[in-house]
Amino acid sequence: MQSITILGATGSIGVSTLDVVARHPERYRVFALTAHAKVHELAAQCEKFHPEVAVVGSADAAQQLSSLLRDAGVSTEVTYGEASLCEVASTSACTTVMAAIVGAAGLAPTIAAARAGKKVLLANKEALVISGQLFMDAIAASGSTLLPIDSEHNAIFQCLPLGYQRQPVHHGIRKILLTASGGPFLDRDVATLEHVTPEQAVAHPNWSMGRKISVDSATMMNKGLEVIEAHWLFGAMPDQIEVVIHPQSVIHSMVSYADGSVLAQLGNPDMRTPIAHALAYPERIESGVNSVDLAQIAQLNFRKPDYERFPCLQLAFDALRAGGSAAAVLNAANEIAVEAFLDRRLGFRKIPGLIESVMNSIPVEPVVDLEGVLALDHAARAKAREMIQA
């Protein structure tokens, strides 16, 4: 039986993970659940799954959660802070860690899980974007199992040969083809995008996601971060990764081989499919998701991305090619830009301009250790905030 820690239990990935876990009580038990501030949602999850530990972001949240659980008669231990997140991710009491904390906040506990040799189900793409080599070195050193949860990377993983070792050419691979829905503004007049509201940006046509990731999908920065993630996961160089717009979100990604074959993974747009795949790998289990009805879909469309419409995608490719700390700066600037947009302090079309300005203002440095990466992340955030206030 797998004992699972879910980092980011109240987010969309965490909720979907618990849905799959609940379908297979004979296979999985929940060791720890974490959330930053959604205390009532976390309390309800603790009442249902009875984890040994629950971790929140602050002392006040911990006090509130403890009170709610005490009133409900739930004996879950409550702790708080980054050190506690790292502890529940690395303890010998758990075998599997779902890394689903959004943004750089998930970096430390995700690396802690990797260093501890856990089965890491990676939904936090920033761990690879910010500290790709450090993270992959930690996986290799500990013998940890790394399984991607992003629907695109999980699809690629399913299309790769068994025992793939991050060497595309040695396995006859020409290209990794990352599909992208294009988000809610795929066909909207570019000239009108400066008037986009947060409500419009988070209304994704196919997927149910958190607000930050939904905005990233609207700008296609989400796809850009996935390009960088694909580089680290699969050893593909920038010219071996191609983004393909696929509005139906039925083909989740593809792998193109030297013999002319293209393998694709298809499925309904529901994150429980990749979650179930990773939880049970190499077996297959029921996820609660229906199979695709191709006759009902009738047609699948594809097109090349428009970089005028989606400049954030180009910025991500630029960061990948620059190497070093460029991707960490890109990610940090984007998080601050999206936060400002959602707070109505920055226009939608100004997001890429802010990111590019921050990238141009901070020199690229080698990524040597986690402390250095976090220092650069902090510097990029401070610069982005300064530019927004100017």
- The CATH number assigned to the domain holding 378 equals 1.10.1740.10
Distance (Å, whole) CA 344 – CA 81: 29
Contacts of 311 (CB under 8 A, 6+ apart): 352, 356
Range of the structural domain that residue 124 is part of: 2-148
CATH number at residue 62: 3.40.50.720
* pLDDT over 70 (residue 189): yes
In a domain, 282, yes or no: no
188 and 218 co-located in one domain = yes
* pLDDT over 80 (residue 78): yes
Last-in-domain residue among 318, 343, 377: 318
Q: How many CA atoms lie within 13 A of 338 on its CB side?
A: 24
Distance (Å, whole) CA 207 – CA 197: 19
pLDDT above 70 as % of the chain: 99
Confidence of residue 208 (pLDDT cuts 50, 70, 90): low
95 and 190 co-located in one domain = no
Its pTM stands at: 0.92
Average pLDDT score over residue span 14-23: 98
87 and 188 co-located in one domain = no
In a domain, 285, yes or no: no
* pLDDT over 70 (residue 233): yes
10's tokens: 């109240």
Tokens 């958190």 sit at which residue?
210
DSSP assignment, residue 359? Answer: H
165 and 311 co-located in one domain = yes
52 and 114 co-located in one domain = yes
180 and 312 co-located in one domain = yes
163 and 243 co-located in one domain = yes
* Residue-wise pLDDT tens digits, 125-172: 878 999 899 999 999 999 999 999 999 999 999 999 988 989 999 999
132 and 41 co-located in one domain = yes
In a domain, 132, yes or no: yes
Distance (Å, whole) CA 104 – CA 102: 7
184 and 309 co-located in one domain = yes
What is the distance, to the nearest Å, from the Cα of residue 300 to the centroid of all Cα atoms in its chain?
25
In a domain, 294, yes or no: no
102 and 194 co-located in one domain = no
* pLDDT over 80 (residue 104): no
171 and 311 co-located in one domain = yes
DSSP string, 14-41: HHHHHHHHHT-TTTEEEEEEE-SS-HHH
Tokens 């293209």 sit at which residue?
262
pLDDT above 90 as % of the chain: 85
DSSP string, 157-180: HHHSPTT--S-TGGGTEEEEEEEE
DSSP assignment, residue 103? Answer: S
* pLDDT over 80 (residue 1): yes
* pLDDT over 90 (residue 209): no
Total structural domains in the chain? 3
